[in-house]
Amino acid sequence: MTASGRRPAVALRGVGKRFPGVVAVDGVTLEIEPGEVHVFAGENGAGKSTLMKLIAQVEPPTSGRVELDGEPVVHQGPGAARRLGVSMVHQEFALAPDLSVAENLFIGHEPGRSGWISRAAERRDARELLARVGLDVDPGRRVSLLSTAEQQRVELAKALAVRAKVLILDEPTASLTERETEELFGIVRELTGQGIAVLYISHRLDEIFEIGDRVTVMRDGAVVETAPVDGLDEARLVQLMVGRDVANLYPRTHRAPGEVRLEVDGLSRGEQVRDVSFQVRAGEIVGLAGLVGAGRTELARAVFGAEPPDRGTITVDGRALRIRGPADAIAAGIGYLTESRKEDGLALQLGVDKNITMAKLPMLRFGLIDLKAERDIAERERESLRIRVPRVGRQAQTLSGGNQQKVVLARWLETGADVLFFDEPGRGMDVGAKSEMFQQLDSLAEQGKAVVLISSYLPELLNMCDRILVMRGGRITGEVQRTEFSEERVVALATGAKGNHD
């Protein structure tokens, strides 16, 4: 029995998981109450996601046992876990994009009789489930046409379709705006009010304190501590997660900016970027804030030439540029760390060395790549940026998110880029990796680089930036100076709320 006198929704009894040469989960014993939000925190590689996979029967435990509602579970796979009431919403959604919302909700357990599917019953039941998660869309709509936030709600409804008693959410707010995050929290609270246990993985400290009832901190596969959230503060939580004090998660030294390095004037691309003008000076970190779809990423891609602008001028260090593609931007000293490292930023099957040099290859005569120089460059960047990899020939896909981000940064530093766009750089990174990355941003500004930071997570912008430009509908709707920084001010400009003092 739990402290409340009820049987635990989930009980772990000495659960362990070993892979060849690696102890991923080490003897975890823990009870999770019905109706609580139990947060799992820790650095990447701490064992959080592996532990969730053991509960959801994605992986079998090597030792110990998992109990659901007081009964031991025999590993039979994710389908069996769902039948027992365990649903897991992964950070990468498991939806069939070309099927309808209703079809996604009931894959494998479609309503009907004698092998015949009742589409009318499917749509009716789908509407009821969608209402429970606050989503008003046509159940017949194709999933690929939905926004990220809408797809996540479909995933939540899909979990409820199997009468979930235990809901696992892995970094659920990674792609959500502040408003969408609050809406998600409202849904989570409703579910816990119905007695559903929510197991919640997050790297965002403010989320842990806002949504969590208890938190279990993991390090090196083992539980370091389990405690009520209201019994911890941020400093203590960070210390538990990383095993050391992180004195300042956002290490920013504000200095007087230098000359204008990047100037954008009247830049437009279709309806996504409309008549945008701004400047970034040497030594400045300028933030781009806004809701999803505001045009922030599209603006960065237009400046970088990934989606060349229809009109407008781009000037770097006083020289007007003609950007017809990324090659022109790279030659002019512009680098772009994309929003998705895995999809756009890295060649995951290639080694760290080749990823670092691919934008500026060291060449021998007759068009041959200088492999020795390539290794030397990679070794230098590995040491300089503290990229944790046993050898530079190791495939990029084997690295943690924080180290992958360092590889992408190393690539742009090797090109000599003086203007750098960072698009959602903290997404999916643990607190220790974020601290290191923000130190790098501060160092780049100190070196006189012009840095543009795009983030949907306002604390990153408010702590790291000298100025924040706010976008809405493809336009810059306002600029907030550091002396005027506040979440309310930025949100008002991003949403068009009255009283924003434009």
The residue that leads in pLDDT, 413 or 312, is 312
How would DSSP label each residue in 205-240?
HHHHHHH-SEEEEEETTEEEEEEEGGG--HHHHHHH
Place of tokens 């407008």: 312
For residue 359, which of 382, 387, 325, 388 has the smallest C-alpha distance? Answer: 325
CA triple 441-442-447, angle to 5 deg: 95
Strands (E), 328-415: 334-337
The pLDDT of residue 32: 96
Contact partners, residue 91, CB within 8 Å, separation at least 6: 170, 171, 172, 174, 428
Q: With contact defined as beta carbons under 8 Å apart, do 276 and 479 qualify?
A: no
* Maximum average pLDDT range among 35-39, 389-393, 404-408: 35-39
Q: Which two tokens stand for residue 424?
A: 């959602």
- 21 by DSSP, 3-state: which? coil
CA triple 234-240-246, angle to 5 deg: 60
CA triple 100-148-118, angle to 5 deg: 15
Q: How buried is 320 (Cβ within 10 angstroms: 0-12 exposed, 13-18 middle, 19+ buried)? A: exposed
Overall average pLDDT of the 356-382 stretch: 88
Q: CA-CA distance, 289 to 74, in Å (whole number)?
A: 48
Q: Which two tokens stand for residue 247?
A: 């004195």
Q: How buried is 119 (Cβ within 10 angstroms: 0-12 exposed, 13-18 middle, 19+ buried)? A: middle
Domains of the chain with CATH codes: 10-242 (3.40.50.300), 260-495 (3.40.50.300)
For residue 356, which of 336, 378, 329 has the smallest C-alpha distance? Answer: 378
| 168 band by pLDDT with thresholds 50, 70 and 90 | very high
- 140 by DSSP, 3-state: which? coil
Q: CA-CA distance, 72 to 67, in Å (whole number)?
A: 4
The pLDDT of residue 114: 66
Place of tokens 């894959």: 107
473: left (phi over 0), alpha (psi -120 to 50) or beta: left
Instruction: For residue 436, report the phi and psi dihedrals to the nearest 5 degrees.
Output: -65, -40
Q: CA-CA distance, 252 to 349, in Å (whole number)?
A: 35
**pLDDT, tens only, 283-308:** 999 999 998 778 999 999 999 999 99
Q: Which two tokens stand for residue 191?
A: 């579910």
Q: How buried is 368 (Cβ within 10 angstroms: 0-12 exposed, 13-18 middle, 19+ buried)? A: exposed
| 218 band by pLDDT with thresholds 50, 70 and 90 | very high
CA triple 490-493-497, angle to 5 deg: 115
**pLDDT, tens only, 401-426:** 778 888 888 888 888 899 999 998 88
How would DSSP label each residue in 88-138?
EE-SS----TTSBHHHHHTTTS-SEETTEE-HHHHHHHHHHHHHHTT----
Least confident piece of the model among 3-7, 312-316, 441-445: 3-7
The pLDDT of residue 4: 63
- 305 by DSSP, 3-state: which? coil
Least confident piece of the model among 74-88, 237-251, 475-489: 237-251
| 206 band by pLDDT with thresholds 50, 70 and 90 | confident
For residue 197, which of 240, 177, 225, 167 has the smallest C-alpha distance? Answer: 167
- 81 by DSSP, 3-state: which? helix
Overall average pLDDT of the 63-88 stretch: 92
- 87 by DSSP, 3-state: which? strand
- In the chain, DSSP finds a helix count (H) and a strand count (E) of 16, 22
Please give, one letter per residue, the 3-state secondary structure of 416-442.
CCCEEEEECCCCCCCHHHHHHHHHHHH
For residue 447, which of 469, 421, 417, 410 has the smallest C-alpha distance? Answer: 417
